[in-house]
Amino acid sequence: MSENPENEVPVEYDAKGRSTGVEYEELPDDLIDEPFDPARIDVQTRVMTVDLLLARLRRGVLDLAPDFQRFAGIWSDEAQSKLIESLLLRIPLPTLYAAESGEESWAIVDGIQRLTTIARFVNPAVVNARPLKLHGLEYLRQYEGREYGELPGGLQTRINETELIIHLIRAGTPEPVKFNIFARINTGGRPLTLQELRHALIPGKARDLLRELADSGPFLNATQHSVRPDRMADREMVLRFLAFRLTEPTNYGRGDLDAFLRQAMLRLNSLPQDEIDRLVDEFGKAMTTAAVIFDEHAFRKRFHGQRGRLPINKALFEAISVNLAKIPTEHLKTLLDAKESVQAELMDLMDDGRFHQAISVGTGDVEKVRRRFASVEMLFRRAIG
């Protein structure tokens, strides 16, 4: 962080209260920006046994989003064992939340870790996990170290017939309303991020692409491994790059950045492989170039006279990376040779109040999106000559 108080910026935090390494971005209070018909909201409450839910998992019609990093794998074996002990003691578990994602498929939004734990104990193969051996039990210590198949038959039946309550958002519910409902859910005392919601509710190959690029060497090098993946800030950054490569910033028109990014994920799911390959190549080129030009300050606000390094700014990330991706390869050397002047001009831009606002507050606003992209594009054009 900078030692200059006026240049300090707030950061986002993960589920454990650690900095994600990304500048906090203020979001709208309400995700619904246009009228909707309340009669179209369809929420059903289902009561299902563990056995039925595991059957859905085996059939591939229950999506646990296994790489949902905020949930998957964050419980210790002891914590998971105590959840199984709760089932054996007939202690009710909290309600689950899911959304329909097809004719019969459900995407679990809240309750991923609970269901993953149960599946890991009863049928670990279905979640591609090693078997859970009960450990650290508080009351049923006689079953310490046992797996599911080593429990008495009556206890196995008790787990299989345990009933779980699920609030299911039906497919006919308008998408913005569906996202708004889930955004209001507090899990572990902290609301889901918008990217966590997109990941949970929009299955498909876009998920794998975002993970691949967020884990790629060029991205990690350009961001200096400083973006924590816990709340998917890294994947949102990748998605923002891809979204503005699929749609020119000048054609961004609604002012609803969340809806824009949701549509981009849906488009990515249906893109042919050659288009995906092109985007991957452009992303790698943009990351590599940004790392050379800006070094440790890539995608971060930087002011004249500043000491230290500020967190990554998402809006600056998209404006710089997308514009770098559009520069023809034959012009990159000229840009790299002018990196000192590029750095100085970007610091000058930080002194421009309108540009600074465009990357700091209400970053989904149409005018601000177009301003930051146009400003960075002109900066690079001047450097290239």
Q: What is the pLDDT of residues 312-327, one digit of tens each?
A: 999 999 999 999 999 9
Say how many C-beta atoms besides its own lie within 10 A of residue 265's C-beta: 23
219 and 281 part of one domain: yes
153 and 205 part of one domain: no
Nearest Cα to 130, choosing from 116, 141, 144? 116
Q: At residue 367, what are phi and psi to the nearest 5 degrees? A: -60, -40
229 and 158 part of one domain: no
209 and 325 part of one domain: yes
Q: Note whether residue 296 is domain-resident.
A: yes
pLDDT digits (tens, 9 = 90+) for 193-250: 889 888 888 888 999 999 999 999 999 999 999 998 878 899 999 999 999 999 999 9
Task: Give the pLDDT score at 369.
Answer: 96
Q: Which residue segment(s) compose the domain that 59 sits in? A: 42-172
Mark which of 172, 206, 238 sits at the end of a domain: 172
pLDDT digits (tens, 9 = 90+) for 1-35: 333 333 467 777 665 566 778 887 776 554 545 55
Nearest Cα to 92, choosing from 81, 83, 104? 83
Number of separate helices (H) and strands (E) present in the chain:
16, 9
Count the domains in the chain: 2
162 and 212 part of one domain: no
239 phi-psi bin (left φ>0, alpha ψ -120 to 50, beta other): alpha
Mark which of 118, 139, 172 sits at the end of a domain: 172
162 and 263 part of one domain: no
134 and 243 part of one domain: no
Mark which of 172, 201, 219 sits at the end of a domain: 172
Q: Note whether residue 186 is domain-resident.
A: no
Task: Give the pLDDT score at 19.
Answer: 74
Q: Note whether residue 32 is domain-resident.
A: no
CB pairs under 8 A, 24+ apart, for 379-385?
379/342, 379/345, 379/346, 379/349, 380/323, 380/324, 380/327, 380/335, 380/342, 382/345, 383/334, 383/335, 383/338, 383/341, 383/342, 383/345, 384/327, 384/331, 384/334, 384/335, 384/338, 385/334
232 and 128 part of one domain: no
15 and 61 part of one domain: no
Output the pTM of the full model: 0.79
21 and 51 part of one domain: no
Spatial separation of the C-alpha atoms in residues 203 and 262, rounded to whole Å: 11
